[in-house]
């Protein structure tokens, strides 16, 4: 799961340059109109430009000095630029990340199949990868870089996917099964395959994601819309406050300058969250991409934060792919070393991971026994055992009843202590393999599912987040229950058929829950489509990838856990910055309101609790603070607020304390500090 | 501790002790469970049959609101005609005149919206007939309207996904027969036995100790004064409201009246908890509202009891601000009443708010600006609900989950309504005050019956507070006046009339609509990641949202009014 292509530097020089340019481009009112909060700031900026020009041209001093108006104008312009920069840098980072994924597959030579015949004798022509279209078939041989995403239609190959996933171990991809997809940019290590292109250029998932990041097709998510409405509401309240202040000021015989009106307005409206809102959304998708997950919509990331239930396959997610031998139990009167010898010899030719694990557990090289002319007996469904014959020795290992039958047929009894061992192993979720020599029972090997290290902690974490985990397995209920308990999942589906997943998802959804699942096979596709968040593995079939709303490039089944956290972080960042932004208003009021009225009502200087030097410096300090807080919070917006699984109430308490109380206190300090610095110049 | 302070603490404790069982009873009434008042069943059945109401017909939230608005429309037309013809109708022993159309419009609207802003004086401006069949009638039915509306909200959260929210007319009728009328009979009795008049005879003539001959107004007042408080209406029988010795004769009646006005608002909070079977949520809401009340009560109490600094500057010892207070009631009881009557939309007064200290004035204004700490009957919880939804939304995001309340997700549509309603209150107050300020400054000599220049009895900041108070009181449907304002003229009658309508019906429709929309949504059972809304943390969040929204919108206006006055006086 290493992320070799992510770079964790927030501000890379080339990205910053691009973002700076975009900050100016985005000043265009038509672009800014999408963001009501910042659009009103732009209107205010335009007004201040006019006022500045007016004061410069005329000798009217009622609106304050040229320098003061200019300073307010520049600060407002900076506020806009900072907000644009936040969005632009988030876009640039997302694009750079996507580009680096895309770059791996650009301009690779492709062996386009012209006339399809056998594997070797097909007629091919070398073309550029960019000219491949949907439906084209190309051939890849040992050492080739796969030019384009596609599905293997013929052949099997080992493939190095490290360019995408960062995982160096080669993987096997073959036609027909659930692992038939190949990704452009990966390398064929052995054998040859025919691949059918399944997307037109510019229509791959990655392309779609880049479009989402770039904003052209970026749609606001439901939560974002609701928040924008709330922010627009706040903005309107402050339009109201500022407009009505004019007659109030008239009544109190207090002339209020346009600069003061505009400053008060810009300070009060939630510019901090308004300016960072789209950056937060883009950064969420970007973080998903950094975790090597391609999302098809911003909504999917957001939904991930709300998930109630996760469906996880047992094999590969909860347990390490295969069972492992964990213990040898030998019958009374049998020497341990003899039993182990037989166990090892019977597994000598066994290529299955279980067989290998037996040799591993014994830690003996079978060749050291120097057996002459062995005959290997392969496992068949009929005998349900395998083994080895040499001389007049016949060693068999296999399922308990198969071996028992064999022994009893030969007139040997099944030792009571072994029967007991077999029972214990079964009830512990393991699989017993009985070993017999010449039909005499020697002992039993215990095979156990090995639960991935650290997975219990991850489920613990999910439980604290309020997410229920469900294990899906083909095992019988007893074994499933044992593993479920050991791994710490909340529920399991045993002896699962593909439609069981689907039914489980539907049931959960009926009771109002949001369900996520991960899958790769074509038979997973309906369930992936039904789930609220369906994560398809990149190695999976095209059908699965189309059905899900995310694609995991790493093919890592535990990725769902990260996706949930990314989703939560996205919402939290919005919520906390909204709180912070609104809490800031208290200090800004205490800076600006006394400054507005102090000339006509001198006793109001008691409200100037920050002891700011003059009305002008007070207003400027507030506006400057308001502008500077945006770039100061860009890193937080891009990285996201840290999620801690400590329960909703505790989390609310924590965030209220940091961002609510912090939002009240920080601007008092910040404005005072800026005022002191301004005092050096004014 | 001084006796006066103990007096108000005891008053509050009695209120809560009475409200709790009443809440339980109210929940039972609206759930249709067995209560000791079931002997009224035949009466209700008769009313339903007589009016052609099918009590089993369930309504969705839209049908509820249509029923509410139509019946209010009928009352409006009816009351308007009685008021403009009252002079020529019967039961008018004092020969009071008919109302002018603009005053009748204002009075009609003001009682229809449970506000009771009175631009007339009870003794001379209205007849006994109008007092009974317009004023007292509207005081009953508008209170019942508010309670019926909040019961729709109760229903919305009581069950799982549904759009069937009971029958409006059933809620309305039962509120009258089971709650308002029985309790009013008790209160009216208590008042009548303490000296409040209950007679149809005209003015009495007495000779004072000084030997002057004085005309004393009276009338069938006790019943009206009971519902005036119980229904958080606030409009007095006499012009001086509950400062009048016949309307509020002694400390005991003062306690009865102040308990009566808080009783149902608090009981409804508990009723909500019992109704939806979430008592803890009710306790948290009660806690937030009580803290909210204390936020305004403590500064008010302190500034009233510490007296006027202007006197101190003159070297005169002044222990308490006695101006505008009734000696028989005292400063502390008056301060408590001032806050209670403004946080709850009653608006009756037992002292003159215009004379209270600037900081107290600010607290009374804030009480009406927030308008949801207990709040008026029914509407208090509805107002609180809007802030609660905003708090749920922000804090839901803060814990990384799509915000949900009672298992229903809060989305763009609900936020749109909540934002609009939260925006409406500052909008009508600030715009109203801005227009009046503008007219006053720029057209002081406009050739109206009452020139704008002679509206205000006080110049400067206090005059500004008077205008701000008038619109705030109208928008909050409170009805108390800062007085000192010449408000019985076309400008104020009409402009406050519109503020009153806007401030009443939209804040009822909005929250009921949100509740109705949420009720129809898919219900998600609570999980470990769900943000619980019945915790102290969430209570603090709601409190902060309410205070910040009120403070942010009104801070500049308050600065020019009471806050400037406070600093000037220091």
- Coarse DSSP helix, strand, coil percentages of chain A, rounded to the nearest 5 percent: 55, 20, 30
Mean pLDDT of A34-59: 91
Chain A residue with the nearest C-alpha to that of B391: A579
Return the number of other C-beta atoms located less than 10 Å from residue B213's C-beta.
8
Pairing label, strands A468-472, A440-451: unpaired
Q: How confident is the model at residue A240 (pLDDT cuts 50, 70, 90)?
A: very high
A313 is catalytic: yes
A597 and B397 in contact by Cβ < 8 A? no
For residues A494 and A480, give the distance between their C-alpha atoms in angstroms, rounded to a whole number.
6
- Kindly state the DSSP code that residue B198 receives in the 8-state scheme: B
pLDDT at residue A402 is higher than 90: no
What secondary structure does DSSP assign to B265-317, as a single string? HHHHHHHHHHHTT-HHHHHHHHHHHHHHHHHHHHHHHHHHHT--HHHHHTT--
Tens digit of each residue's pLDDT (9 = 90 or more) over B64-88: 999 999 999 999 999 999 999 998 8
* Within a domain: B347: no
pLDDT attached to residue A119: 63
pLDDT at residue A4 is higher than 50: no
Q: How confident is the model at residue A3 (pLDDT cuts 50, 70, 90)?
A: very low
Q: Which residues in chain B have Cβ-Cβ distances shorter than 8 Å to A579? A: 394, 398
Range among A263-272, A442-451, B263-272 rated most confident: B263-272
- Side-chain half-sphere of A160: how many Cα atoms within 13 Å? 12
Pairing label, strands A109-115, A123-128: antiparallel
Nearest CB to A593; choose among B430, B523, B556: B556
What secondary structure does DSSP assign to B224-266, as a single string? HHHHHHHTT----SSTTGGGSTTTS-SHHHHHHHHHHHHHHHH
Three-class DSSP category at A126 = strand
The full 3-state SS of A556-605, as one line of letters, equals CCCHHHHHHHHHHHHHHHHHHHHHHHHHHHHHHHHHHHHHHHCCCCHHHH
Q: Bigger pLDDT: A586 or A494?
A: A586
Mean pLDDT of A426-436: 83
Task: Provide the residue range defining the domain that includes B114.
Answer: 3-206+213-276
Tens digit of each residue's pLDDT (9 = 90 or more) over B31-69: 999 999 999 999 999 999 999 999 999 999 999 999 999
Supply the Cα-derived Rg of chain A in whole angstroms: 34
Of A90, A93, A131, A87, nearest to A109 by C-alpha is: A131
For residues A495 and A487, give the distance between their C-alpha atoms in angstroms, rounded to a whole number.
18
pLDDT attached to residue A5: 40
Token pair listed for B347: 């608006």
Rounded to the nearest angstrom, the minimum Cα separation between B559 and chain A is: 8
Tens digit of each residue's pLDDT (9 = 90 or more) over A625-681: 999 999 999 999 998 888 887 888 888 999 999 999 999 999 999 999 999 999 888
- Non-local CB neighbours of A405 within 8 Å, separated by 6+ positions: none
Q: Which residues in chain A have Cβ-Cβ distances shorter than 8 Å to B522? A: 512
pLDDT at residue A149 is higher than 90: no
Exposure letters A25-35 (e unless 16+ CB within 10 A, then b): ebbeeebbeeb
* Within a domain: B252: yes
pLDDT attached to residue A1: 35
* Within a domain: B246: yes
Q: How confident is the model at residue A105 (pLDDT cuts 50, 70, 90)?
A: low
Nearest CB to A604; choose among B396, B431, B564: B564
A463 and B393 in contact by Cβ < 8 A? no
Tokens 């997950």 correspond to A293
Pairing label, strands A171-174, A150-160: antiparallel
For residues A524 and A233, give the distance between their C-alpha atoms in angstroms, rounded to a whole number.
44
For residues A67 and A103, give the distance between their C-alpha atoms in angstroms, rounded to a whole number.
50
* Within a domain: B152: yes
Query: Which of these is catalytic: A149, A160, A313, A532?
Result: A313
Exposure letters B24-60 (e unless 16+ CB within 10 A, then b): bbbbbbbbeeebeeeebeeebeebbeeeebebeebbe
pLDDT attached to residue A106: 61
* Within a domain: B77: yes
pLDDT attached to residue A103: 67
Q: How confident is the model at residue A289 (pLDDT cuts 50, 70, 90)?
A: confident
pLDDT at residue B401 is higher than 90: no
Beta partners for residue B206, in sequence order? B214
Pairing label, strands A550-552, A533-537: parallel
Tell which of B386, B401, B534 to mutate to test the A interface (max A CBs under 10 Å).
B401
- Non-local CB neighbours of A504 within 8 Å, separated by 6+ positions: A311, A470, A493
Beta partners for residue A157, in sequence order? A173
Nearest CB to A248; choose among B394, B402, B437: B437
pLDDT attached to residue A120: 65
Q: Are A308 and A421 a contacting pair, CB within 8 Å?
A: no
Chain B residue with the nearest C-alpha to that of A250: B441
Nearest CB to B416; choose among A229, A248, A593: A229
* Within a domain: B319: no
Let me know if A342 is exposed, middle or buried by CB neighbors in 10 A (0-12, 13-18, 19+): buried
Q: How confident is the model at residue A196 (pLDDT cuts 50, 70, 90)?
A: confident
Mean pLDDT of B255-282: 95
Q: Bigger pLDDT: A501 or B338?
A: B338
pLDDT attached to residue A425: 84
A250 and B437 in contact by Cβ < 8 A? yes
Beta partners for residue A194, in sequence order? A139, A154
- Non-local CB neighbours of B547 within 8 Å, separated by 6+ positions: B292, B295, B370
pLDDT attached to residue B426: 94
pLDDT attached to residue A212: 67
Rounded to the nearest angstrom, the minimum Cα separation between A237 and chain B is: 6
Chain A residue with the nearest C-alpha to that of B389: A230
Range among A163-177, A180-194, A401-415 rated most confident: A401-415
Nearest CB to B438; choose among A247, A568, A572: A247
* Within a domain: B172: yes
Q: Mean pLDDT of all residues in chain B?
A: 91
A604 and B411 in contact by Cβ < 8 A? no
pLDDT attached to residue B296: 96
Number of domains in chain B: 1
Mean pLDDT of B250-259: 94
Rounded to the nearest angstrom, the minimum Cα separation between A590 and chain B is: 10
Mean pLDDT of A250-265: 90
* Within a domain: B457: no
Tens digit of each residue's pLDDT (9 = 90 or more) over A5-19: 444 567 788 888 888
Q: How confident is the model at residue A246 (pLDDT cuts 50, 70, 90)?
A: very high
Three-class DSSP category at B352 = coil
**Sign of the CA dihedral with A164 first, then A170, A175, and A179 last:** negative
pLDDT attached to residue A117: 67
Q: A132-137: long-range contacts (C-beta < 8 A, 24 or more apart)?
A: A132/A197, A132/A201, A133/A197, A133/A200, A133/A201, A134/A197, A134/A198, A134/A199, A134/A200, A134/A203, A135/A196, A135/A197, A136/A112, A136/A196, A136/A197, A137/A112, A137/A113, A137/A194, A137/A195, A137/A196, A137/A197
Mean pLDDT of B349-377: 92
Q: Are B383 and B288 a contacting pair, CB within 8 Å?
A: no
pLDDT attached to residue A481: 85
For residues B280 and B285, give the distance between their C-alpha atoms in angstroms, rounded to a whole number.
9
B559 and A604 in contact by Cβ < 8 A? yes
Chain A residue with the nearest C-alpha to that of B551: A586
Q: How confident is the model at residue B511 (pLDDT cuts 50, 70, 90)?
A: very high
Tell me the percentage of chain B whose pLDDT exceeds 90: 67
Three-class DSSP category at A398 = strand
Q: How confident is the model at residue A104 (pLDDT cuts 50, 70, 90)?
A: low
Q: Mean pLDDT of all residues in chain A?
A: 84
Q: Are A593 and B558 a contacting pair, CB within 8 Å?
A: no
Rounded to the nearest angstrom, the minimum Cα separation between A570 and chain B is: 7
Let me know if A354 is exposed, middle or buried by CB neighbors in 10 A (0-12, 13-18, 19+): middle
Q: Which residues in chain B have Cβ-Cβ distances shorter than 8 Å to A511? A: 524-525
Token pair listed for A165: 């996933």
pLDDT attached to residue A384: 79
Q: How confident is the model at residue A2 (pLDDT cuts 50, 70, 90)?
A: very low
- Kindly state the DSSP code that residue B354 receives in the 8-state scheme: G
pTM assigned to the model: 0.85
Tell me the percentage of chain A whose pLDDT exceeds 90: 21
pLDDT at residue B499 is higher than 90: yes
Rounded to the nearest angstrom, the minimum Cα separation between A494 and chain B is: 24
């Amino acid at each position: 799961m290493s992320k070799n292509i992510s770079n964790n530097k927030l501000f890379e020089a080339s990205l910053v340059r691009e973002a700076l340019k975009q900050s100016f481009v985005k000043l265009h009112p038509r672009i800014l109109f999408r963001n009501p909060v910042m659009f009103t700031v732009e209107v205010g900026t335009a007004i201040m430009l006019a006022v500045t020009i007016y004061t410069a041209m005329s000798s009217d001093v009622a609106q304050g000095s040229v320098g003061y108006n200019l300073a307010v104008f520049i600060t407002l312009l900076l506020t806009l630029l900072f907000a644009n920069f936040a969005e632009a840098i988030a876009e640039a980072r997302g694009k750079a990340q996507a580009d680096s994924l895309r770059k791996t597959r650009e301009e690779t030579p492709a062996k386009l199949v012209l006339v399809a015949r056998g594997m070797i004798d097909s007629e091919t022509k070398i073309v550029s990868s960019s000219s491949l279209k949907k439906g084209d078939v190309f051939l890849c041989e040992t050492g080739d870089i796969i030019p384009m995403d596609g599905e293997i239609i013929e052949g099997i190959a080992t493939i190095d996917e490290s360019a995408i996933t960062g995982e160096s171990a080669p993987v096997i991809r073959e036609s027909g099964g659930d692992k038939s997809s190949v990704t452009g940019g990966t390398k064929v290590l052995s054998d040859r395959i025919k691949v059918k292109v399944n997307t037109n250029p510019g229509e791959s998932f990655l392309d779609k994601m880049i479009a989402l990041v770039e904003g052209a097709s970026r749609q606001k998510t439901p939560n974002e819309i609701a928040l924008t409405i709330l922010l627009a509401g706040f903005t309107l309240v402050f339009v109201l406050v500022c407009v009505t202040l004019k007659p109030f000021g008239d009544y109190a015989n207090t002339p209020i300058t346009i600069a003061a009106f505009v400053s008060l307005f810009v300070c009060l409206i939630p510019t901090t969250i308004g300016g960072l809102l789209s950056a937060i959304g883009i950064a969420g998708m970007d973080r998903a991409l950094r975790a090597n997950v391609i999302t098809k919509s911003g909504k999917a990331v957001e939904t991930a934060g709300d998930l109630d239930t996760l469906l996880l396959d047992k094999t590969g997610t909860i347990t390490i792919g295969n069972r492992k031998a964990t213990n040898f139990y030998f019958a009374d009167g049998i020497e341990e070393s003899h039993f182990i010898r037989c166990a090892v010899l019977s597994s000598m030719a066994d290529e299955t991971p279980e067989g290998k694990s037996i040799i591993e557990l014994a830690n003996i090289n079978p060749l050291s026994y120097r057996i002459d002319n062995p005959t290997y007996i392969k496992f068949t469904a009929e005998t349900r055992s395998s083994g080895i014959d040499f001389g007049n020795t016949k060693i068999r290992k296999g399922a308990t009843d198969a071996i028992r039958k064999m022994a009893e047929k030969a007139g040997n009894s099944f030792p009571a202590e072994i029967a007991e061992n077999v029972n214990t192993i079964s009830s512990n979720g393991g699989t017993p393999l009985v070993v017999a020599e010449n039909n005499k029972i020697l002992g039993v090997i215990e095979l156990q599912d090995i639960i991935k290290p650290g997975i219990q902690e991850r489920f613990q974490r999910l439980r604290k987040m309020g997410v229920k985990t469900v294990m899906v397995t083909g095992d019988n209920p007893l074994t499933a229950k044992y593993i479920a308990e050991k791994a710490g999942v909340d529920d399991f589906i045993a002896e699962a058929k593909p439609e069981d997943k689907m039914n489980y998802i539907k049931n959960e959804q009926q009771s109002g829950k949001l369900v996520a699942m991960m899958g790769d096979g074509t038979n997973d596709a309906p369930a992936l489509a039904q789930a609220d968040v369906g994560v398809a593995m990149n190695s999976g079939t095209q059908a699965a990838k189309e059905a899900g709303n995310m694609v995991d490039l790493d093919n890592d089944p535990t990725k769902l856990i990260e996706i949930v956290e990314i989703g939560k972080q996205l919402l939290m960042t919005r919520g906390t910055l909204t709180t912070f932004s609104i809490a800031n208003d208290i200090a800004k009021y205490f800076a600006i309101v006394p400054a507005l009225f102090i000339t006509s009502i001198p006793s109001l200087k008691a409200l100037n609790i920050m002891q700011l030097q003059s009305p002008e410096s007070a207003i400027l300090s507030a506006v400057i603070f308001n502008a500077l807080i945006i770039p100061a919070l860009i890193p937080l917006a891009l990285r996201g607020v840290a999620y801690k699984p400590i329960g909703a109430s505790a989390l609310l308490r924590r965030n209220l304390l940091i961002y609510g109380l912090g939002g009240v206190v920080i601007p008092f300090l910040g404005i005072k500090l800026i005022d002191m610095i301004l005092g050096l110049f004014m | 501790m001084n006796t006066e302070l103990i007096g108000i603490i005891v008053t509050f404790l009695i209120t809560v002790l009475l409200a709790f069982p009443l809440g339980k009873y109210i929940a039972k009434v609206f759930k249709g469970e067995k209560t000791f008042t079931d002997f009224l069943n035949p009466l209700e059945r008769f009313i339903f049959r007589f009016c052609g109401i099918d009590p089993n017909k369930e309504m969705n939230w839209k049908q509820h609101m249509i029923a509410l608005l139509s019946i209010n429309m009928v009352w409006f037309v009816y009351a308007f005609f009685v008021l403009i013809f009252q002079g020529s109708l019967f039961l008018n022993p004092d020969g009071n005149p008919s109302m002018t159309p603009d005053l009748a419009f204002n009075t009609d609207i003001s009682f229809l919206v449970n506000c009771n802003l009175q631009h007339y004086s009870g003794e001379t401006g209205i007849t006994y007939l109008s007092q009974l069949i317009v004023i007292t009638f509207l005081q009953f039915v508008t209170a019942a309207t508010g309670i019926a509306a909040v019961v729709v909200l109760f229903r919305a959260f009581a069950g799982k996904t549904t759009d069937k929210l009971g029958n409006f007319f059933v809620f309305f009728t039962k509120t009258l027969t089971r709650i308002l009328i029985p309790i009013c009979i008790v209160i009216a009795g208590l008042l009548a036995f303490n000296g409040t008049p209950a007679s149809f005879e005209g003015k009495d003539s007495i000779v004072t100790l000084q030997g002057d001959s004085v005309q004393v107004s009276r009338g069938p007042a006790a019943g009206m004064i009971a519902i005036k408080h119980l229904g958080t209406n606030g409009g007095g029988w006499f012009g001086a409201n509950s400062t009048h010795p016949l309307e509020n004769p002694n400390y005991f009646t003062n306690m009865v009246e102040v308990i009566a006005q808080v009783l149902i608002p608090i009981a409804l909070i508990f009723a909500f908890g019992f109704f939806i079977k979430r008592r803890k949520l009710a306790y948290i809401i009660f806690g937030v509202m009580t803290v909210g009340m204390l936020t305004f009560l403590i500064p008010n109490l302190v500034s009233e009891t510490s007296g006027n600094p202007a006197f101190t500057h003159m070297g005169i010892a002044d222990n308490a601000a006695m101006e505008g207070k009734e000696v028989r009631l005292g400063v502390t009881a008056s301060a408590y009443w001032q806050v209670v009557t403004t946080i709850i939309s009653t608006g009756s007064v037992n002292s003159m708010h215009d004379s209270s200290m600037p900081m107290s004035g600010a607290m009374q204004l804030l009480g009406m600006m927030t308008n949801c700490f207990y709040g008026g009957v029914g509407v208090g919880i509805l107002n609180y609900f809007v802030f609660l939804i905003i708090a749920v939304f922000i804090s839901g995001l803060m814990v990384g989950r799509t915000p949900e309340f009672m298992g229903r997700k809060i989305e763009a549509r609900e936020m749109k309504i909540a934002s609009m309603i939260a925006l409406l209150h500052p909008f009508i107050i600030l715009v109203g005050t801005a227009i009046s300020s503008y007219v006053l400054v720029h057209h002081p000599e406009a050739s109206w019956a009452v020139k704008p220049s002679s509206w205000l009895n006080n110049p400067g900041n206090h005059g500004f507070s008077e205008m701000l108070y008038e619109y705030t009181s109208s928008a909050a449907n409170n009805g108390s006046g800062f007085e000192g304002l010449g408000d019985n003229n076309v400008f104020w009658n009409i402009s406050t009339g519109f503020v009153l309508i806007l401030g009443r019906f939209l804040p009822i429709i909005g929250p009921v609509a949100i509740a109705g929309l949420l009720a129809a949504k898919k219900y998600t059972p609570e999980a470990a990641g769900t943000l619980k809304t019945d915790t102290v943390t969430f209570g603090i969040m709601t409190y902060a949202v309410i205070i910040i929204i009120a403070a942010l919108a009104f801070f500049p206006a308050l600065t020019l009014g009471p806050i400037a006055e406070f600093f000037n006086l220091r």
